[in-house]
Amino acid sequence: MPSHLSEGPLSEGPRLGQRISLLVADRDRMGSQLLAEALGRDPRFEIVAVAIASDILPIAARQPDVLLISMESDAGARKGLQVARALNAVHSGLHIVILLERSTRESVIAAFRCGAAGVFCRTEPISELHNCIVHVSRGNIWAGRDQTQYLLDALRNTPSCEGIEDGKLHLLTKREVEVAEHAAQGQSNKQIADEMRLSEHTIKNYLFQVFEKLGVSSRFELTFLLFNERNNSIDTSGSNHPIESYLKAAEEGFIAAQYLVGLAHLEGSGMEKNGRSAYYWLRMAEENSHELRQRTRALTEELKSKLRPDELETLEHSVIAAVEHNKRLTSKRPVEFIKRSTASASLRIAM
C-alpha cells in the first residue's frame, strides 16, 4: 500500500468535481499516446498534452495540474529527471509524477531530488496510478512504503548536529553548528561560503573555532564525531581504537561507516594512509548512497590521477563485484583485495 507522506490543502490543486488537467510524457511518442488514452478514460482526467521528454519544457508553460513524466526516454537515459529539474527551476509549484522502470533506492531518491511530488513504478497496477495522480494533484506526496524508507534512510545518513545534546556540541553557536554540518557533509570552504553568503575567510575562521571548541583537528575528525553521536547502532565499546569498529560496520553495510573508513585511509587518521583503500571505501559509499555520491565523487576523481590504470581497473572490478553479489548492497571486501590493500599497512587489522 502506498504511503502518503503529506496532506496538502485541496486548494493547491483542482477543486472538488473539477477535472484534473494532465500532461503525459512516456518513453516515446507511441507509449505516450497509449498511456494518455488509458488515463483519458477516467472522467476525472483531462489530457491537455501528449509529449516526449524533449517537448515538455515549452508545453509546461500551460501549467497543467499534474505532469506524468517517464524517467527513461528514447532521447536519453534519465532524460525525464533532467526535464523535471529544469521545470522546477522555471515553474514553481508544479506537481510532477516520475514513472520508474524499477523502484530502486537510487532512482527514488533521484526523482524526489529533481522535484517529483510522487513516484510510480510500472510494475504497479494502473488503477494505483490513477490514485497517485489524484493525490499529487491535491498537493500530496505519493510514495510506497519501501520508497518512503529510501528517503528516510537518505536523510538519516546525512551528518547533522540536530538532536545532539551530549559532549561539547552545546558549546557551538548556531552559525558554528551550520558551518560544522556543511563541512562534515564534504563541502569545501568555497561551497559553504557561497551557500551561506559569507566570505571564504569567514568560513575558515568559523571552522577554526569549531575545531577548537570540539577538540578536533580535521574535517575527518569532525565527521567522525558527528557520526559517532548520531549512529548509536555502531558500537565502538570494547575496541582499542574506535576506527576498528567502524571498519567492521563498513563491512556490514553501514553507509556512514564506509564513508568514514574511506576518509580515514585518505587522511591517514587512525589507519594507514592508503589511496587504494580510500578509493575502494569511498566508491562503496558512493554506490550505496546517492546522497553521498556527489561528496565522494570529487575525492575519487582526485585519487584517479594518482593511481595506475591497472590499479583502477582492479579496484573498479572489486567494487562492482561486491555490489552485484550482495542484493542489500552491504560491503564485504574480497579477501584477495584486502591482502593487496593492506600488505604494507603499518596498522594490522584483524579480520
Answer whether 182's CB lies under 8 Å from 195's CB.
Answer: yes
Kind plus residue range of the DSSP H or E element containing 87:
helix 79-90
Residue 309 counted as domain residue: yes
Same domain, 208 and 265: no
Same domain, 135 and 206: no
Q: What is the pLDDT of residues 133-189, one digit of tens each?
A: 999 999 999 998 889 988 888 777 665 555 544 567 778 888 998 898 888 777 888
Same domain, 250 and 284: yes
**Residue 65 belongs to what domain range?**
2-155
Cell numbers for 88: 522546477
- Which of 106, 129, 155 terminates a domain? The answer is 155
Cα dihedral sign for 319, 320, 322, 328? Answer: positive
- Which of 97, 122, 155 terminates a domain? The answer is 155
pTM over 0.75: no
Query: Residue type for 253, please?
Result: G
Q: How confident is the model at residue 342 (pLDDT cuts 50, 70, 90)?
A: very low
Q: What is the pLDDT of residues 274-327, one digit of tens each?
A: 888 888 888 887 777 655 555 567 777 778 878 888 888 888 888 777 766 553
| C-alpha R_g of the chain | 23
CB neighbours of residue 97 within 10 Å: 24
Look at residue 170 in the predicted model and tell me its pLDDT: 78
Q: How confident is the model at residue 203 (pLDDT cuts 50, 70, 90)?
A: very high
Cell numbers for 346: 603499518
Residue 351 counted as domain residue: no
Q: How confident is the model at residue 222 (pLDDT cuts 50, 70, 90)?
A: confident
- Which of 178, 208, 229 terminates a domain? The answer is 229
Q: CA-CA-CA-CA torsion for 219, 258, 158, 178, nearest 10 degrees? A: 0
C-alpha–C-alpha distance, residues 264 and 278, integer Å? 7
Number of domains in the chain: 3
Q: Provide the CATH number for the domain around residue 209.
A: 1.10.10.10
Residue 137 counted as domain residue: yes
Same domain, 121 and 191: no
Backbone angles phi, psi at 71, to 5 degrees: -60, -45
Answer whether 84's CB lies under 8 Å from 96's CB.
Answer: yes
What single string gives the DSSP state of each residue in 307-320? S-HHHHHHHHHHHH
Residue 163 counted as domain residue: no
Answer whether 218's CB lies under 8 Å from 224's CB.
Answer: no
Longest Cα pair distance anywhere in the chain, in angstroms?
72
Same domain, 147 and 26: yes
Q: Provide the CATH number for the domain around residue 143.
A: 3.40.50.2300
Answer whether 241's CB lies under 8 Å from 267's CB.
Answer: no
Strand order in the sheet with 141-144: 2-6, 141-144, 118-121, 96-100, 66-70, 20-25, 45-51
Same domain, 187 and 85: no
CB neighbours of residue 350 within 10 Å: 4
Answer whether 198's CB lies under 8 Å from 191's CB.
Answer: no
CA 274 from centre of chain = 26
Same domain, 182 and 55: no
Residue 14 counted as domain residue: yes
Same domain, 117 and 262: no
Residue 164 counted as domain residue: no
Residue 280 counted as domain residue: yes
Same domain, 210 and 246: no
Higher pLDDT, 301 or 104: 104
Same domain, 201 and 250: no
Same domain, 173 and 202: yes
Q: 3-class DSSP state for residue 227?
A: helix
Which one, of 224, 244, 197, lies nearest residue 350 by Cα? 244
Q: How confident is the model at residue 351 (pLDDT cuts 50, 70, 90)?
A: very low
Residue 160 counted as domain residue: no
Higher pLDDT, 220 or 67: 67
Q: 3-class DSSP state for residue 288?
A: helix
Same domain, 54 and 135: yes
